[in-house]
Chain A
Amino acid sequence: MKFALHIVVCAGIVPDPLQTLEPTSGPNGPGLKNEMVLPSVLDPWAASALYEAANLAAKNPASKVWLVSLGPKAKLQQVMMTVAQKASFELVAVDGPIGGFPDAHSTAAVLADAIVALPGLDRERMLLCGGWESATRGAGVTLQLIGERLGITDQFQGVDQIDLLDDGSFEVLERVEGGRHQVSVCAGGPAVLGWATGNLAEPRNNPQVGMANMRTIMPALQKAKAATLEANGLRYVSASLPRQQRVTRVEKNMSADEIALELVEWIGAE
Protein backbone atom coordinates (compact mmCIF):
# COMPACT_ATOMS: atom_id res chain seq x y z
CA MET A 1 0.00 0.00 0.00
CA LYS A 2 1.26 3.50 -0.81
CA PHE A 3 0.96 6.45 1.54
CA ALA A 4 1.37 10.08 0.60
CA LEU A 5 4.27 11.32 2.69
CA HIS A 6 4.98 14.82 3.91
CA ILE A 7 8.72 14.97 4.35
CA VAL A 8 10.55 18.00 5.68
CA VAL A 9 14.31 17.91 5.27
CA CYS A 10 16.43 20.34 7.28
CA ALA A 11 19.80 20.88 5.64
CA GLY A 12 22.44 23.52 6.11
CA ILE A 13 25.28 24.55 3.88
CA VAL A 14 28.89 23.93 4.85
CA PRO A 15 32.31 24.80 3.48
CA ASP A 16 33.49 22.38 0.83
CA PRO A 17 35.42 19.72 2.79
CA LEU A 18 38.48 20.23 0.57
CA GLN A 19 38.84 23.87 1.66
CA THR A 20 41.40 24.93 4.24
CA LEU A 21 39.65 26.33 7.30
CA GLU A 22 41.10 29.00 9.55
CA PRO A 23 39.20 30.24 12.58
CA THR A 24 39.01 33.97 13.25
CA SER A 25 37.63 36.00 16.09
CA GLY A 26 34.91 38.59 15.53
CA PRO A 27 32.53 40.73 17.58
CA ASN A 28 29.95 37.93 17.61
CA GLY A 29 32.40 35.19 18.52
CA PRO A 30 34.49 32.92 16.36
CA GLY A 31 34.02 32.39 12.66
CA LEU A 32 36.02 31.23 9.69
CA LYS A 33 38.40 33.38 7.70
CA ASN A 34 36.85 34.33 4.35
CA GLU A 35 33.81 32.29 5.29
CA MET A 36 31.55 34.05 2.80
CA VAL A 37 33.82 33.36 -0.15
CA LEU A 38 34.61 29.74 0.65
CA PRO A 39 32.89 27.39 -1.81
CA SER A 40 29.99 25.69 -0.07
CA VAL A 41 28.11 22.43 -0.44
CA LEU A 42 24.99 20.97 1.08
CA ASP A 43 25.82 19.39 4.43
CA PRO A 44 26.82 15.81 3.52
CA TRP A 45 24.67 13.83 5.98
CA ALA A 46 21.74 16.17 5.39
CA ALA A 47 22.26 15.59 1.67
CA SER A 48 21.87 11.85 2.34
CA ALA A 49 18.60 12.71 4.08
CA LEU A 50 17.44 14.69 1.06
CA TYR A 51 18.24 11.91 -1.40
CA GLU A 52 16.54 9.30 0.78
CA ALA A 53 13.52 11.59 1.20
CA ALA A 54 13.25 12.17 -2.54
CA ASN A 55 13.52 8.43 -3.11
CA LEU A 56 10.74 7.72 -0.61
CA ALA A 57 8.55 10.43 -2.12
CA ALA A 58 9.08 9.07 -5.62
CA LYS A 59 7.86 5.65 -4.50
CA ASN A 60 4.76 7.06 -2.83
CA PRO A 61 2.57 9.15 -5.16
CA ALA A 62 1.23 12.50 -3.93
CA SER A 63 4.11 12.79 -1.49
CA LYS A 64 5.95 16.07 -1.08
CA VAL A 65 9.43 17.06 0.07
CA TRP A 66 10.26 20.44 1.58
CA LEU A 67 13.90 21.45 2.00
CA VAL A 68 14.28 23.92 4.86
CA SER A 69 17.64 25.65 4.90
CA LEU A 70 19.13 28.41 7.02
CA GLY A 71 21.99 30.42 5.57
CA PRO A 72 22.92 33.63 3.78
CA LYS A 73 20.68 33.98 0.74
CA ALA A 74 23.56 34.41 -1.70
CA LYS A 75 25.26 31.22 -0.48
CA LEU A 76 21.99 29.29 -0.53
CA GLN A 77 21.39 30.35 -4.12
CA GLN A 78 24.87 29.20 -5.11
CA VAL A 79 24.48 25.78 -3.50
CA MET A 80 20.93 25.25 -4.74
CA MET A 81 22.09 25.58 -8.35
CA THR A 82 23.69 22.17 -7.92
CA VAL A 83 21.38 20.53 -5.39
CA ALA A 84 18.29 21.38 -7.42
CA GLN A 85 19.43 19.02 -10.18
CA LYS A 86 19.58 16.00 -7.90
CA ALA A 87 16.17 15.71 -6.25
CA SER A 88 12.69 17.22 -6.42
CA PHE A 89 11.80 19.49 -3.52
CA GLU A 90 10.28 22.79 -2.53
CA LEU A 91 12.83 25.10 -0.94
CA VAL A 92 12.03 27.03 2.21
CA ALA A 93 14.89 29.45 2.76
CA VAL A 94 15.67 31.35 5.95
CA ASP A 95 18.20 34.13 5.57
CA GLY A 96 20.60 33.84 8.48
CA PRO A 97 24.18 33.32 9.54
CA ILE A 98 26.37 30.50 8.32
CA GLY A 99 28.74 28.28 10.24
CA GLY A 100 29.13 25.97 13.18
CA PHE A 101 29.61 28.46 16.01
CA PRO A 102 26.07 29.87 16.49
CA ASP A 103 23.99 28.26 19.22
CA ALA A 104 22.12 25.12 18.17
CA HIS A 105 19.12 25.98 20.36
CA SER A 106 18.59 29.24 18.48
CA THR A 107 19.04 27.52 15.15
CA ALA A 108 16.45 24.91 16.12
CA ALA A 109 13.97 27.59 17.19
CA VAL A 110 14.25 29.40 13.86
CA LEU A 111 13.89 26.21 11.84
CA ALA A 112 10.95 24.99 13.93
CA ASP A 113 9.15 28.29 13.34
CA ALA A 114 9.76 27.95 9.61
CA ILE A 115 8.31 24.42 9.60
CA VAL A 116 5.25 25.41 11.61
CA ALA A 117 4.54 28.10 9.02
CA LEU A 118 4.66 25.73 6.03
CA PRO A 119 1.36 25.90 4.15
CA GLY A 120 -0.16 22.52 3.31
CA LEU A 121 2.08 20.52 5.66
CA ASP A 122 0.21 17.80 7.56
CA ARG A 123 2.29 17.66 10.73
CA GLU A 124 0.50 14.53 11.94
CA ARG A 125 2.10 12.46 9.17
CA MET A 126 5.30 14.44 8.81
CA LEU A 127 8.68 12.78 8.59
CA LEU A 128 11.18 15.36 9.77
CA CYS A 129 14.55 14.46 8.25
CA GLY A 130 18.05 15.84 8.32
CA GLY A 131 21.60 14.76 8.95
CA TRP A 132 22.21 13.20 12.36
CA GLU A 133 25.15 15.58 12.72
CA SER A 134 26.26 18.54 10.63
CA ALA A 135 29.70 19.01 9.16
CA THR A 136 29.97 22.36 10.94
CA ARG A 137 28.86 22.13 14.58
CA GLY A 138 28.56 18.35 14.44
CA ALA A 139 26.60 18.26 17.69
CA GLY A 140 23.68 16.13 16.55
CA VAL A 141 21.18 18.16 18.55
CA THR A 142 19.44 20.59 16.19
CA LEU A 143 17.05 18.09 14.61
CA GLN A 144 16.23 16.63 18.03
CA LEU A 145 15.46 20.09 19.41
CA ILE A 146 13.23 20.89 16.43
CA GLY A 147 11.41 17.61 17.03
CA GLU A 148 10.84 18.46 20.69
CA ARG A 149 9.60 21.93 19.76
CA LEU A 150 7.11 20.30 17.38
CA GLY A 151 6.07 17.73 20.00
CA ILE A 152 7.49 14.70 18.17
CA THR A 153 8.40 11.89 20.56
CA ASP A 154 9.42 9.25 18.05
CA GLN A 155 12.95 10.15 17.09
CA PHE A 156 15.71 8.14 15.46
CA GLN A 157 19.33 9.12 14.95
CA GLY A 158 22.06 7.64 12.78
CA VAL A 159 19.45 6.25 10.43
CA ASP A 160 20.71 4.18 7.52
CA GLN A 161 17.44 2.73 6.26
CA ILE A 162 13.69 2.93 6.60
CA ASP A 163 11.17 0.56 5.06
CA LEU A 164 7.54 1.56 4.86
CA LEU A 165 5.17 -1.22 5.88
CA ASP A 166 1.67 -1.88 4.58
CA ASP A 167 -0.12 -0.51 7.65
CA GLY A 168 1.58 2.87 7.46
CA SER A 169 4.23 2.02 10.03
CA PHE A 170 7.89 1.83 9.16
CA GLU A 171 10.93 -0.18 10.18
CA VAL A 172 14.01 1.90 10.86
CA LEU A 173 17.67 0.98 11.24
CA GLU A 174 19.76 3.23 13.49
CA ARG A 175 23.50 3.02 13.99
CA VAL A 176 24.63 1.91 17.42
CA GLU A 177 28.06 1.13 18.83
CA GLY A 178 30.22 -1.57 17.33
CA GLY A 179 29.15 -1.33 13.69
CA ARG A 180 25.66 -2.60 14.41
CA HIS A 181 22.12 -1.36 13.80
CA GLN A 182 19.20 -1.14 16.20
CA VAL A 183 15.99 -2.20 14.48
CA SER A 184 12.74 -0.51 15.54
CA VAL A 185 9.23 -0.30 14.17
CA CYS A 186 7.42 3.03 14.50
CA ALA A 187 3.66 3.37 14.09
CA GLY A 188 4.19 6.11 11.48
CA GLY A 189 4.48 9.87 11.35
CA PRO A 190 5.16 12.21 12.90
CA ALA A 191 8.72 11.11 13.46
CA VAL A 192 12.24 12.55 13.36
CA LEU A 193 14.85 10.76 11.25
CA GLY A 194 18.44 11.94 11.63
CA TRP A 195 20.13 10.28 8.69
CA ALA A 196 23.63 8.90 8.56
CA THR A 197 24.85 7.82 5.15
CA GLY A 198 21.84 5.80 4.07
CA ASN A 199 22.17 3.40 1.18
CA LEU A 200 21.77 5.60 -1.85
CA ALA A 201 24.55 6.93 -4.01
CA GLU A 202 24.51 10.64 -4.82
CA PRO A 203 22.01 11.07 -7.67
CA ARG A 204 23.33 12.18 -11.03
CA ASN A 205 22.47 15.72 -12.11
CA ASN A 206 19.14 15.83 -13.90
CA PRO A 207 18.64 19.16 -15.73
CA GLN A 208 14.88 18.57 -16.00
CA VAL A 209 14.55 18.21 -12.25
CA GLY A 210 16.74 21.27 -11.90
CA MET A 211 14.53 23.35 -14.17
CA ALA A 212 11.40 22.32 -12.29
CA ASN A 213 12.98 23.07 -8.91
CA MET A 214 14.35 26.44 -9.98
CA ARG A 215 10.81 27.70 -10.63
CA THR A 216 10.22 27.60 -6.87
CA ILE A 217 13.76 28.15 -5.60
CA MET A 218 14.21 31.71 -6.83
CA PRO A 219 10.89 32.95 -5.36
CA ALA A 220 11.70 31.11 -2.12
CA LEU A 221 15.04 32.87 -1.89
CA GLN A 222 13.45 36.25 -2.63
CA LYS A 223 10.92 35.91 0.16
CA ALA A 224 13.32 34.33 2.67
CA LYS A 225 12.78 35.85 6.09
CA ALA A 226 15.81 37.22 7.91
CA ALA A 227 16.66 35.49 11.17
CA THR A 228 19.08 36.38 13.92
CA LEU A 229 20.43 33.71 16.23
CA GLU A 230 20.61 34.48 19.93
CA ALA A 231 23.75 33.40 21.77
CA ASN A 232 21.80 31.99 24.76
CA GLY A 233 24.73 32.68 27.07
CA LEU A 234 27.15 30.70 24.90
CA ARG A 235 30.67 32.12 25.18
CA TYR A 236 33.74 30.98 23.31
CA VAL A 237 37.03 31.11 25.19
CA SER A 238 39.05 30.08 22.15
CA ALA A 239 38.79 28.52 18.71
CA SER A 240 41.94 27.27 17.09
CA LEU A 241 43.40 24.85 14.63
CA PRO A 242 44.98 21.73 16.12
CA ARG A 243 48.67 22.29 16.71
CA GLN A 244 49.50 18.72 15.94
CA GLN A 245 51.64 18.54 12.80
CA ARG A 246 53.55 15.31 12.49
CA VAL A 247 57.09 14.99 11.26
CA THR A 248 56.57 12.40 8.58
CA ARG A 249 59.27 9.89 7.70
CA VAL A 250 58.78 8.93 4.07
CA GLU A 251 60.36 5.59 3.14
CA LYS A 252 60.78 5.26 -0.61
CA ASN A 253 63.46 2.60 -0.89
CA MET A 254 62.57 -0.11 1.60
CA SER A 255 61.68 -3.55 0.25
CA ALA A 256 58.34 -5.13 1.05
CA ASP A 257 60.10 -7.54 3.43
CA GLU A 258 61.81 -4.73 5.32
CA ILE A 259 58.58 -2.77 5.60
CA ALA A 260 56.71 -5.86 6.80
CA LEU A 261 59.29 -6.53 9.50
CA GLU A 262 59.15 -2.93 10.70
CA LEU A 263 55.35 -2.93 10.70
CA VAL A 264 55.09 -6.19 12.63
CA GLU A 265 57.48 -4.83 15.25
CA TRP A 266 55.43 -1.62 15.46
CA ILE A 267 52.14 -3.50 15.73
CA GLY A 268 53.48 -5.63 18.57
CA ALA A 269 55.02 -2.75 20.50
CA GLU A 270 53.08 -1.42 23.48
Chain B
Amino acid sequence: MESILVLTHTATSDEISGEPGSVLTRASLEVVTAGIQLSARLKATLTIGIVGNAEAADTLASVEAKLLAVSGMAFAQPRYASDAAACEALSRAANATIVLAPDSSRFARVMAGVAHRVGGVIDTHITAVGGTDHVEVTRWFYRQRVEAVLSRDARPWFLLLDAGTHAAFTGAAGSAIVEQISVELPAMRTTVKGIRAPKQDAQTIRPDAKMLFVAGAGWTKKQPDGQTHVDEAGKLILGFLRVAGASLGSSKSLVDQGGEGASVLPFLTHLNQIGQTGATPRHAKGLSTCCHGEEPHVVGWRFIGERRAISLDPNCGWTRGKADVVYVADAFQVMSRVNALLDEKKL
Protein backbone atom coordinates (compact mmCIF):
# COMPACT_ATOMS: atom_id res chain seq x y z
CA MET B 1 0.00 0.00 0.00
CA GLU B 2 1.26 3.43 -0.92
CA SER B 3 1.82 6.26 1.53
CA ILE B 4 2.14 9.80 0.28
CA LEU B 5 4.26 12.70 1.41
CA VAL B 6 3.63 16.15 0.00
CA LEU B 7 6.64 18.41 0.40
CA THR B 8 5.95 22.13 0.41
CA HIS B 9 7.89 25.27 1.13
CA THR B 10 7.05 28.74 2.26
CA ALA B 11 7.88 31.82 0.27
CA THR B 12 11.49 32.90 0.69
CA SER B 13 12.47 35.17 3.50
CA ASP B 14 11.28 38.67 4.00
CA GLU B 15 14.25 40.75 2.86
CA ILE B 16 13.76 43.26 5.67
CA SER B 17 13.30 41.03 8.70
CA GLY B 18 15.24 38.04 7.35
CA GLU B 19 12.49 35.77 8.68
CA PRO B 20 11.19 32.96 6.50
CA GLY B 21 7.91 33.84 4.81
CA SER B 22 4.86 32.48 6.60
CA VAL B 23 2.74 31.45 3.63
CA LEU B 24 3.06 28.46 1.36
CA THR B 25 3.85 29.22 -2.26
CA ARG B 26 1.07 28.80 -4.78
CA ALA B 27 2.96 25.93 -6.40
CA SER B 28 3.10 24.20 -3.01
CA LEU B 29 -0.67 24.60 -2.55
CA GLU B 30 -1.22 23.08 -5.99
CA VAL B 31 0.75 20.01 -4.92
CA VAL B 32 -1.32 19.78 -1.74
CA THR B 33 -4.36 19.44 -4.00
CA ALA B 34 -2.61 16.73 -6.01
CA GLY B 35 -1.68 14.91 -2.81
CA ILE B 36 -5.23 15.00 -1.47
CA GLN B 37 -6.59 13.66 -4.77
CA LEU B 38 -3.99 10.92 -5.07
CA SER B 39 -4.31 9.74 -1.47
CA ALA B 40 -8.09 9.55 -1.85
CA ARG B 41 -7.78 7.56 -5.07
CA LEU B 42 -5.20 5.12 -3.69
CA LYS B 43 -6.69 5.08 -0.17
CA ALA B 44 -3.22 5.98 1.01
CA THR B 45 -2.10 7.86 4.10
CA LEU B 46 -1.13 11.48 3.55
CA THR B 47 1.63 13.44 5.24
CA ILE B 48 2.50 17.05 4.44
CA GLY B 49 5.97 18.39 5.12
CA ILE B 50 6.78 22.09 5.26
CA VAL B 51 10.21 23.62 4.76
CA GLY B 52 10.58 27.19 5.99
CA ASN B 53 8.06 28.31 8.55
CA ALA B 54 5.77 25.99 10.51
CA GLU B 55 3.20 28.78 10.91
CA ALA B 56 2.17 28.10 7.34
CA ALA B 57 0.66 24.82 8.51
CA ASP B 58 -2.39 26.68 9.78
CA THR B 59 -3.60 27.06 6.21
CA LEU B 60 -3.63 23.25 6.01
CA ALA B 61 -5.57 22.72 9.22
CA SER B 62 -8.58 21.35 7.35
CA VAL B 63 -6.58 18.68 5.51
CA GLU B 64 -6.74 15.14 6.88
CA ALA B 65 -3.01 14.69 6.99
CA LYS B 66 -0.14 14.44 9.40
CA LEU B 67 1.85 17.67 9.33
CA LEU B 68 5.63 17.84 9.67
CA ALA B 69 7.84 20.89 9.50
CA VAL B 70 11.45 21.92 9.35
CA SER B 71 11.73 25.56 10.25
CA GLY B 72 14.22 28.15 11.36
CA MET B 73 16.48 30.83 9.98
CA ALA B 74 18.71 28.29 8.21
CA PHE B 75 15.75 27.42 6.01
CA ALA B 76 14.64 30.96 5.28
CA GLN B 77 16.52 31.06 1.99
CA PRO B 78 16.79 28.42 -0.73
CA ARG B 79 20.19 26.73 -0.64
CA TYR B 80 21.17 23.22 -1.66
CA ALA B 81 22.90 22.06 1.51
CA SER B 82 20.20 23.21 3.94
CA ASP B 83 17.18 22.43 1.75
CA ALA B 84 18.46 18.96 0.86
CA ALA B 85 19.04 18.20 4.54
CA ALA B 86 15.54 19.46 5.41
CA CYS B 87 13.80 17.46 2.70
CA GLU B 88 15.84 14.38 3.53
CA ALA B 89 14.82 14.64 7.18
CA LEU B 90 11.14 15.08 6.27
CA SER B 91 11.28 12.16 3.84
CA ARG B 92 12.86 9.88 6.40
CA ALA B 93 10.38 10.95 9.06
CA ALA B 94 7.38 10.33 6.81
CA ASN B 95 8.80 7.12 5.32
CA ALA B 96 6.47 7.55 2.35
CA THR B 97 6.50 5.55 -0.86
CA ILE B 98 5.48 8.47 -3.06
CA VAL B 99 6.73 12.00 -2.53
CA LEU B 100 5.02 14.86 -4.36
CA ALA B 101 6.64 18.28 -4.50
CA PRO B 102 6.37 21.44 -6.58
CA ASP B 103 8.80 21.83 -9.49
CA SER B 104 9.82 25.22 -8.12
CA SER B 105 13.34 26.56 -8.48
CA ARG B 106 13.86 25.81 -4.78
CA PHE B 107 12.86 22.17 -4.88
CA ALA B 108 14.07 21.46 -8.42
CA ARG B 109 17.54 22.39 -7.15
CA VAL B 110 17.60 19.71 -4.44
CA MET B 111 15.03 16.98 -4.89
CA ALA B 112 17.06 14.63 -7.10
CA GLY B 113 19.79 14.76 -4.50
CA VAL B 114 17.27 14.00 -1.77
CA ALA B 115 15.87 11.06 -3.74
CA HIS B 116 19.39 9.69 -4.09
CA ARG B 117 20.07 10.07 -0.37
CA VAL B 118 17.01 8.07 0.64
CA GLY B 119 17.58 5.42 -2.02
CA GLY B 120 14.69 6.57 -4.18
CA VAL B 121 14.08 7.63 -7.76
CA ILE B 122 12.75 10.83 -9.22
CA ASP B 123 10.81 12.17 -12.18
CA THR B 124 10.24 15.86 -12.75
CA HIS B 125 8.06 18.22 -14.77
CA ILE B 126 5.05 15.99 -14.15
CA THR B 127 1.92 17.38 -15.77
CA ALA B 128 -0.57 14.72 -14.67
CA VAL B 129 -0.74 11.96 -12.08
CA GLY B 130 -3.03 9.16 -13.20
CA GLY B 131 -3.62 5.44 -12.87
CA THR B 132 -6.30 3.69 -10.84
CA ASP B 133 -4.71 1.05 -8.64
CA HIS B 134 -1.16 2.18 -9.29
CA VAL B 135 0.48 5.45 -10.22
CA GLU B 136 1.20 6.55 -13.76
CA VAL B 137 2.54 9.99 -14.52
CA THR B 138 2.67 12.11 -17.64
CA ARG B 139 5.58 14.26 -18.66
CA TRP B 140 7.12 15.66 -21.81
CA PHE B 141 10.36 14.72 -23.49
CA TYR B 142 12.45 16.50 -26.12
CA ARG B 143 11.38 19.93 -24.91
CA GLN B 144 7.63 19.39 -25.06
CA ARG B 145 7.71 17.54 -28.38
CA VAL B 146 6.96 13.98 -27.19
CA GLU B 147 4.49 13.21 -24.41
CA ALA B 148 4.99 10.04 -22.40
CA VAL B 149 3.18 8.21 -19.64
CA LEU B 150 5.45 6.25 -17.33
CA SER B 151 5.47 4.29 -14.15
CA ARG B 152 8.12 2.98 -11.77
CA ASP B 153 8.42 0.04 -9.41
CA ALA B 154 11.13 1.59 -7.27
CA ARG B 155 10.17 3.39 -4.07
CA PRO B 156 10.31 6.00 -2.72
CA TRP B 157 9.31 7.70 -5.95
CA PHE B 158 9.73 11.46 -5.98
CA LEU B 159 7.52 13.41 -8.37
CA LEU B 160 7.99 17.12 -9.04
CA LEU B 161 4.77 18.61 -10.39
CA ASP B 162 4.81 21.47 -12.85
CA ALA B 163 3.09 24.65 -11.69
CA GLY B 164 -0.35 25.26 -13.14
CA THR B 165 -1.31 21.60 -13.47
CA HIS B 166 -3.55 21.50 -10.40
CA ALA B 167 -5.80 23.98 -8.63
CA ALA B 168 -4.25 25.58 -5.56
CA PHE B 169 -5.59 24.18 -2.28
CA THR B 170 -7.98 26.43 -0.45
CA GLY B 171 -9.40 25.37 2.88
CA ALA B 172 -10.44 26.89 6.15
CA ALA B 173 -7.44 27.99 8.18
CA GLY B 174 -7.19 26.90 11.78
CA SER B 175 -4.75 25.90 14.43
CA ALA B 176 -2.81 22.96 13.06
CA ILE B 177 -0.79 20.45 15.07
CA VAL B 178 2.65 20.25 13.56
CA GLU B 179 5.47 17.91 14.42
CA GLN B 180 8.82 19.68 14.22
CA ILE B 181 11.55 17.59 12.64
CA SER B 182 15.10 18.33 13.69
CA VAL B 183 17.82 18.52 11.08
CA GLU B 184 21.53 18.10 11.46
CA LEU B 185 23.02 20.62 9.09
CA PRO B 186 26.45 20.24 7.51
CA ALA B 187 28.84 23.21 7.51
CA MET B 188 27.42 25.83 5.16
CA ARG B 189 29.80 26.93 2.42
CA THR B 190 27.18 28.92 0.52
CA THR B 191 25.64 32.19 1.64
CA VAL B 192 22.51 33.45 -0.07
CA LYS B 193 22.84 37.18 -0.65
CA GLY B 194 19.38 37.86 -1.96
CA ILE B 195 17.40 38.30 -5.12
CA ARG B 196 18.48 40.41 -8.07
CA ALA B 197 15.49 41.62 -10.02
CA PRO B 198 14.88 44.27 -12.64
CA LYS B 199 13.35 47.49 -11.32
CA GLN B 200 9.61 47.19 -10.86
CA ASP B 201 8.85 49.19 -13.99
CA ALA B 202 11.37 47.15 -15.98
CA GLN B 203 10.04 43.76 -14.89
CA THR B 204 8.75 42.22 -18.09
CA ILE B 205 8.35 38.60 -16.99
CA ARG B 206 5.01 38.07 -15.28
CA PRO B 207 4.24 34.39 -14.76
CA ASP B 208 0.72 35.15 -13.51
CA ALA B 209 -0.27 37.26 -16.53
CA LYS B 210 -3.11 36.04 -18.76
CA MET B 211 -1.27 37.07 -21.89
CA LEU B 212 2.15 36.20 -23.26
CA PHE B 213 3.51 38.68 -25.79
CA VAL B 214 6.41 37.40 -27.85
CA ALA B 215 8.74 39.71 -29.74
CA GLY B 216 10.69 38.18 -32.60
CA ALA B 217 13.76 39.32 -34.47
CA GLY B 218 11.67 41.16 -37.06
CA TRP B 219 11.25 44.11 -34.69
CA THR B 220 14.90 45.05 -35.19
CA LYS B 221 15.08 44.43 -38.94
CA LYS B 222 14.95 47.12 -41.62
CA GLN B 223 11.45 48.40 -42.25
CA PRO B 224 9.91 49.47 -45.59
CA ASP B 225 11.71 52.84 -45.36
CA GLY B 226 15.04 51.03 -45.37
CA GLN B 227 15.81 51.94 -41.75
CA THR B 228 15.59 50.07 -38.47
CA HIS B 229 13.27 51.47 -35.81
CA VAL B 230 14.45 49.78 -32.64
CA ASP B 231 13.50 52.65 -30.32
CA GLU B 232 9.98 52.74 -31.70
CA ALA B 233 9.76 48.97 -31.42
CA GLY B 234 10.79 49.17 -27.78
CA LYS B 235 8.16 51.79 -27.02
CA LEU B 236 5.41 49.79 -28.74
CA ILE B 237 6.32 46.58 -26.95
CA LEU B 238 6.63 48.15 -23.50
CA GLY B 239 3.48 50.13 -24.14
CA PHE B 240 1.57 46.95 -24.88
CA LEU B 241 2.96 45.19 -21.79
CA ARG B 242 1.80 48.15 -19.70
CA VAL B 243 -1.74 48.42 -21.02
CA ALA B 244 -2.38 44.69 -21.41
CA GLY B 245 -0.53 43.54 -18.28
CA ALA B 246 1.20 40.95 -20.44
CA SER B 247 4.38 38.99 -19.87
CA LEU B 248 7.16 39.40 -22.41
CA GLY B 249 8.78 36.51 -24.21
CA SER B 250 11.28 36.50 -27.03
CA SER B 251 12.71 34.28 -29.69
CA LYS B 252 16.32 33.15 -29.29
CA SER B 253 17.39 34.95 -32.43
CA LEU B 254 16.36 38.33 -31.05
CA VAL B 255 18.05 37.83 -27.69
CA ASP B 256 21.20 36.52 -29.37
CA GLN B 257 21.52 39.71 -31.40
CA GLY B 258 22.69 41.44 -28.21
CA GLY B 259 25.66 39.09 -27.94
CA GLU B 260 26.53 39.69 -31.57
CA GLY B 261 26.71 43.45 -31.18
CA ALA B 262 23.56 44.23 -33.14
CA SER B 263 21.05 46.82 -32.04
CA VAL B 264 18.59 45.14 -29.71
CA LEU B 265 15.79 45.93 -27.33
CA PRO B 266 17.57 46.81 -24.07
CA PHE B 267 14.94 45.30 -21.77
CA LEU B 268 15.28 41.82 -23.29
CA THR B 269 17.50 39.20 -21.68
CA HIS B 270 17.92 35.45 -22.02
CA LEU B 271 15.35 35.16 -19.23
CA ASN B 272 12.72 36.30 -21.73
CA GLN B 273 13.64 33.56 -24.17
CA ILE B 274 10.88 31.07 -24.99
CA GLY B 275 11.51 27.70 -26.60
CA GLN B 276 14.12 25.00 -26.94
CA THR B 277 16.70 26.84 -24.84
CA GLY B 278 14.27 29.06 -23.02
CA ALA B 279 11.16 28.88 -20.91
CA THR B 280 7.89 27.04 -21.46
CA PRO B 281 5.47 29.32 -19.63
CA ARG B 282 1.78 28.82 -18.96
CA HIS B 283 -0.57 31.61 -20.05
CA ALA B 284 -4.16 31.59 -21.25
CA LYS B 285 -3.31 33.53 -24.43
CA GLY B 286 -0.25 34.26 -26.50
CA LEU B 287 0.42 36.85 -29.18
CA SER B 288 3.50 36.43 -31.34
CA THR B 289 4.89 39.33 -33.32
CA CYS B 290 7.64 39.46 -35.93
CA CYS B 291 8.60 35.85 -35.23
CA HIS B 292 8.88 33.05 -37.80
CA GLY B 293 7.28 30.44 -35.55
CA GLU B 294 9.93 27.80 -36.15
CA GLU B 295 9.77 24.61 -34.12
CA PRO B 296 12.64 25.36 -31.68
CA HIS B 297 10.74 28.47 -30.56
CA VAL B 298 7.21 27.09 -30.74
CA VAL B 299 7.98 24.14 -28.42
CA GLY B 300 8.00 26.77 -25.69
CA TRP B 301 4.36 27.56 -26.49
CA ARG B 302 3.13 24.06 -25.59
CA PHE B 303 1.15 25.33 -22.59
CA ILE B 304 -0.21 28.52 -24.14
CA GLY B 305 -3.97 28.28 -24.64
CA GLU B 306 -5.13 30.55 -27.47
CA ARG B 307 -2.43 31.62 -29.90
CA ARG B 308 -2.37 34.44 -32.42
CA ALA B 309 0.50 35.78 -34.50
CA ILE B 310 1.31 38.85 -36.54
CA SER B 311 3.83 38.23 -39.28
CA LEU B 312 4.67 39.65 -42.69
CA ASP B 313 5.45 36.15 -43.93
CA PRO B 314 2.28 34.31 -45.07
CA ASN B 315 4.23 31.04 -45.03
CA CYS B 316 5.71 31.40 -41.55
CA GLY B 317 5.63 28.48 -39.14
CA TRP B 318 2.60 29.84 -37.30
CA THR B 319 0.39 29.26 -40.36
CA ARG B 320 1.15 25.53 -40.27
CA GLY B 321 -1.20 24.57 -37.45
CA LYS B 322 0.75 26.26 -34.69
CA ALA B 323 -1.49 29.29 -34.14
CA ASP B 324 -5.24 29.81 -34.15
CA VAL B 325 -5.06 33.03 -36.15
CA VAL B 326 -2.23 34.54 -38.17
CA TYR B 327 -2.47 38.13 -39.35
CA VAL B 328 -0.24 38.85 -42.32
CA ALA B 329 0.50 42.46 -41.48
CA ASP B 330 3.05 44.97 -40.25
CA ALA B 331 3.35 44.58 -36.48
CA PHE B 332 4.48 48.19 -36.07
CA GLN B 333 1.20 49.45 -37.51
CA VAL B 334 -1.01 46.92 -35.78
CA MET B 335 0.53 47.23 -32.32
CA SER B 336 0.46 51.00 -32.43
CA ARG B 337 -3.30 50.86 -33.03
CA VAL B 338 -3.80 48.09 -30.48
CA ASN B 339 -2.03 50.18 -27.83
CA ALA B 340 -4.10 53.24 -28.70
CA LEU B 341 -7.34 51.25 -28.44
CA LEU B 342 -6.34 49.67 -25.13
CA ASP B 343 -5.35 53.08 -23.79
CA GLU B 344 -8.77 54.45 -24.78
CA LYS B 345 -10.50 51.56 -23.01
CA LYS B 346 -8.59 52.31 -19.82
CA LEU B 347 -9.55 55.98 -19.81
Contacts and interface: CB of A to CB of B under 8 A. Distances in A.
Interface of A: 14-15, 17-18, 21, 23, 30, 32, 44-45, 48, 100-101, 103-105, 135-142, 144-145, 147-149, 153-158, 160, 171, 173-188, 196-201, 232-242, 245-252, 254, 256-257, 259-261, 263-264, 266-268
B147 interface: yes
Given A138-B141, A179-B272, A185-B191, 16 more contacts: A44-B276, A138-B140, A141-B112, A148-B116, A153-B186, A154-B81, A176-B78, A180-B197, A186-B190, A196-B270, A201-B256, A242-B144, A248-B319, A249-B325, A250-B326, A264-B338
Contact of A233 (B154, B203, B244): B154
A264 to B, nearest CB: 5
A183 to B, nearest CB: 4
A162 to B, nearest CB: 12
Contact of A185 (B145, B193, B307): B193
B43 interface: no
Contacts of A156: 80, 109
Contact of B277 (A44, A142, A251, A260): A44
A173 B196 contact: yes
Contacts of A175: 105, 271
B150 A234 contact: yes
A154 B113 contact: no
A144 B151 contact: no
A243 to B, nearest CB: 9
Contact of A256 (B150, B302, B337): B337
Given A260-B334, A266-B308, A254 B329 contact: yes
Contact of A263 (B154, B192, B322, B338): B338
B136 interface: yes
Nearest to A242: B147
B197 to A, nearest CB: 4
Contacts of B136: 237
A240 B147 contact: yes
Contacts of B121: 103, 105, 232-234
Given A185-B193, A259-B329, A264-B341, A179 B105 contact: no
A251 B271 CA distance: 32
